[in-house]
Amino acid sequence: MKIGSILENQKIEKRIAITPEIAKKYISLGFEVLLPENYGDHLGIKDEEYKELGVLISKDEKDILINSDIIVQLSLLSNDRNSLLKENQTFIGVLNPYDNKEIIDNLVKKKMNIFSLELLPRITRAQSMDILSSQANLAGYKAVIESFANFEKAIPMMMTAAGTIPAAKVLVVGAGVAGLQAIATAKRMGAIVFATDVRMASKEQVESLGGKFLTVEGAENLETEGGYAKEVSDDFKKKQEELLSETLKKIDIVICTALIPGKKAPVIIKEDMINNINPGSIIYDLAAIQGGNTAHTKVDKIVDKNGVKIIGESNILNKLPTSASNLYAKNVFNFVSNLYDKENKKIIINLEDEIIEKTLIK
């Protein structure tokens, strides 16, 4: 069987789906690996490195799409590339099916096997394939680094002969994978860290990392079976807003990570709350691409609101493309391995397997 990948639109996505390490693993499973020229060049990976492993390098991306049995990407292809895809091919990526329903429906009509990896179930067996966790972990780390780079004061407490510089105070909104990594990173760098989440199960995790968990009464029932945050009631929102409004008066940096899969990001930091924040403070909104957690987040812009910088980025992982690609490629390899019958050299669509059943778009 042939497995292939082509470059994403480099203006919006620098990650790749097949690294040399993973190409070697595919070949050891019996796959032929097809990649275009200069596939990893922007990450410092030369074609020769792939060729030495036995990867077939093509000058024409169209040939790869036509000849591959399995195509692995970060996201959907452009319309002209989609037109080359055909029956029985398998396409794997992070496809955002809620926003791209029409495009994906057209691919399904071609009788292709379309898998969207953000739909993976939260079960133990799927952990090695969990692209949301691996990528969110890096995003949480990088959001802290970027925030601190834009903050014009020192982060840790410093006691000097000239006086004491107080430690920066950081609030992390949402204590999922990205939020927990943000807490750990900010704490390691000497900040005082607070965190809030609608899931009471997060309290112990936050405190184990040295953060202070801000508790809103009634939070214990706001978690789905899959471990995600539920949408909250109006009463809960009011209590959360009151707590946040008071907390934000003493916060220097806010990291927003609150997302509900497939839906617009909840607006947690309202206009009047931003007015409570001291000038010179930073809000870094990881939810920008889904509308943002603040009232003023703009994608790929820094908004200055009364001296508070609100930073929203569409893809923070473009600032860590090598690390992010390494993890993503491993996640995808583990997913493909679960699909692949090595003995008969074919893909098996076993709908009794929860991993396959949940990620296959029908």
Q: How many domains does the chain have?
A: 2
Q: Does 70 share its domain with 38?
A: yes
Q: Does 90 share its domain with 158?
A: no
Q: Does 196 share its domain with 115?
A: no
The tokens for 2 are: 């042939």
Q: Does 198 share its domain with 53?
A: no
Distance CA 322, CA 359 (A): 26
Range of the domain at 348: 2-119+321-359
Q: Does 231 share its domain with 267?
A: yes
The phi, psi pair for 173, rounded to 5°, reads -95, 110
Query: What Rg value do the Cα atoms of the chain yield, rounded?
Result: 22
For the entire predicted model, the pTM comes to: 0.90
Closest by Cα among 248, 185, 190 to 214: 248
Q: Residue 124 domain-assigned?
A: no
Catalytic positions: 122, 127, 130, 133, 228
Q: Residue 210 domain-assigned?
A: yes
CATH code where residue 293 lies: 3.40.50.720
Model pLDDT, residue 232: 64
Q: Does 169 share its domain with 303?
A: yes
Model pLDDT, residue 147: 97
Q: Does 109 share its domain with 226?
A: no
The phi, psi pair for 304, rounded to 5°, reads -100, 115
Q: Residue 126 domain-assigned?
A: no
Strands 282-285 and 212-214: unpaired
Q: According to the 3-state scheme, what is the secondary structure of 106-157?
A: HHHHCCCEEEEHHHCCCCHHHHHHCHHHHHHHHHHHHHHHHHHHHCCCCCCC
Distance CA 357, CA 362 (A): 9
pLDDT in tens, the chain (362 residues): 999 999 999 989 999 999 999 999 999 999 999 999 999 999 999 999 999 999 999 999 999 999 999 999 999 999 999 999 999 999 999 998 888 999 999 999 999 999 999 999 989 999 999 999 999 999 999 999 999 999 999 999 999 999 999 999 999 999 999 999 999 999 999 999 999 998 888 999 999 999 999 987 665 555 555 555 556 677 777 887 888 999 999 999 999 999 877 688 989 999 999 998 999 999 999 999 999 999 999 999 999 999 999 999 999 999 999 999 999 999 999 999 999 998 888 999 999 999 999 999 98
Q: Residue 70 domain-assigned?
A: yes
